[in-house]
Amino acid sequence: MNFIEFFRLALASILENRLRSFLTMLGIIIGVVSVILLISMTTGFREYLVRQFMGIGTNLIIINPGKTETKGLGQPGFEGVQKMTTGDTMALRRNAYALESVSSITVGTADVRYVDRERKVMVIGTDEAFVKVINIGVDAGAFFNADDVNASRRVCTIGYTVKNELFGSRNPLGEIIKIGGAGYRVIGIMEKKGTFIGTDDLDDVVYITVSASQRLFNTDKLFGLRAKARSAVMIEEAKEQIRIILTKRHNNKEDFTILTQESLLSSLNSILKALSVVLAGIAAISLLVGGIGIMNIMLVSVRERTREIGIRKAVGARRADILFQFLFESMLISLIGGIIGILIAFIGGIIISQFLPQVPPIMEPWVIALATIFSGSVGIFFGVYPAYKAAQQDPIQALRYE
């Protein structure tokens, strides 16, 4: 007998007991659907994160005060985190030639008021380099320039949400808004950015010059620096230059952390990888349960078909003929279940992306291939024992079986 004959035999038997075959498949179907959807959603989420992080800017380097990893002895806090200042920005601009631009950042919240409308808004203090470092453009008007920064002029640009909330359909350009009580002239409207990882509204922001913001919040500390390397290959070099220059300025202490988009992504990736391992575990368990279901039904089926086995053996079926007959059946049940599962998962993915258009599940080909191979293997693995039992039957005993 060749494989096509076994295949036909198995298919005929499955079609003969449609309902039972389907119920047997159910475990595999559910397993495959959940596994594919979970993996596809993780993949979709990872792609979304990559898009979000890469969307901030290109060759971006983030410098924040404080060291995230603790090294050495001594009391933390006392020697303390040295603050970061605009002096650091100047030093990097002068000396770190691997950097294209460097920008200071302060972050705070303040009440922003226009005539009789007031709103609590995130206020970012920065300089003219900001729009070179961060991937953001100006919709109308202009971002403040070096002169505005140096003279700490009371000018601002506003995000989309702020514009809508305070001005509605009116043109804000040239209008004066009050930020923390002081008046600022609106000189630009930033382009719409949406949300970042679904939380912060990146358009509910007002940008003012860094000097104005330090006056507003009464501090000379910066939230951090944002820099842009000249090219992707210069990122490492740039990080090293930043490290050397800032360490020297901070009394030879490395009291800051340098991050890149890649380093942020790779730590996120490792979290997602851990998640994938958990998902793989769920996959294994659900397929195991499905496989046990198949084994169970196949054992019943072998028992029910004892006479058939006896008849087949009596007319010349060898052990292998019986073994493969049953093995093909369990494999095919599992494989069909897997394919149905893939189809359902595909439809499910389309439905989910209707509800989560920003994070659509991504079904990669290898997942489909893996699901197919896995479901087939489960059928073989859990079909071996019942098939072996069938093949072992003594023809006479089997013929006598009632």
Partner 1 sequence: MVKGLRLVMKNEPLILLEDIKKIYGSGPTQVNALSGVNLKIREGEFMAILGPSGSGKSTLMNIIGCLDRPSEGRYLLDNIDVSGMKDDDLASIRNKKIGFVFQMFNLLPKQSALGNVMIPLLYSGVDARERKERGLQILRKMGLEGRWHHRPNELSGGECQRVAIARALINRPSIVLADEPTGNLDTRTGEEIILLFKRLNKDEGVTLIMVTHNPEIANEASRRIYVKDGKIVEDTAP
Binding site residues, partner 1, CB under 8 A: 1, 5, 16, 307-308, 310-321, 395-396, 399
Supply the minimum distance, in Å, between the C-beta of residue 276 and partner 1. 45
Residues 6+ apart with CB under 8 A from 237: 98, 229
Minimum CB distance to partner 1 smaller for 170 or for 307: 307
| Residue 384 C-beta: closest distance to partner 1, Å | 19
Q: Which is nearer to partner 1, 69 or 402 (CB)?
A: 402
Q: Distance from CA of residue 214 to its chain's centroid?
A: 36
> Least distance in Å: CB of 314 to partner 1?
6
Between 107 and 311, name the residue whose CB sits nearer to partner 1.
311
Rounded distance between C-alpha atoms, residue 149 and residue 128, angstroms: 7
CB contact at 8 A, 111 and 118: yes
Question: Rounded to an integer, what is the distance from CA 239 to the centroid of its chain?
Answer: 26
Considering the complex, what minimum distance in angstroms separates the CB of residue 13 from partner 1?
Answer: 9
CB 86 within 8 A of CB 129: no
Nearest distance from C-beta of residue 310 to partner 1, angstroms: 8
Helices (H), 250-364: 261-304, 306-314, 319-355
Output 96 or 317, the one with its CB closest to partner 1: 317
* Tokens found for residue 151: 């003279």
Distance CA 159, CA 121 (A): 10
Q: Which is nearer to partner 1, 7 or 217 (CB)?
A: 7
Q: In whole angstroms, how close is the CB of 301 to partner 1 at the nearest point?
A: 13
**For partner 1, the closer CB: 228 or 312:** 312
- Residue 399 and residue 311 in contact, taking contact as beta carbons nearer than 8 Å: yes
For residue 258, the tally of other CB atoms under 10 A from its CB is 18
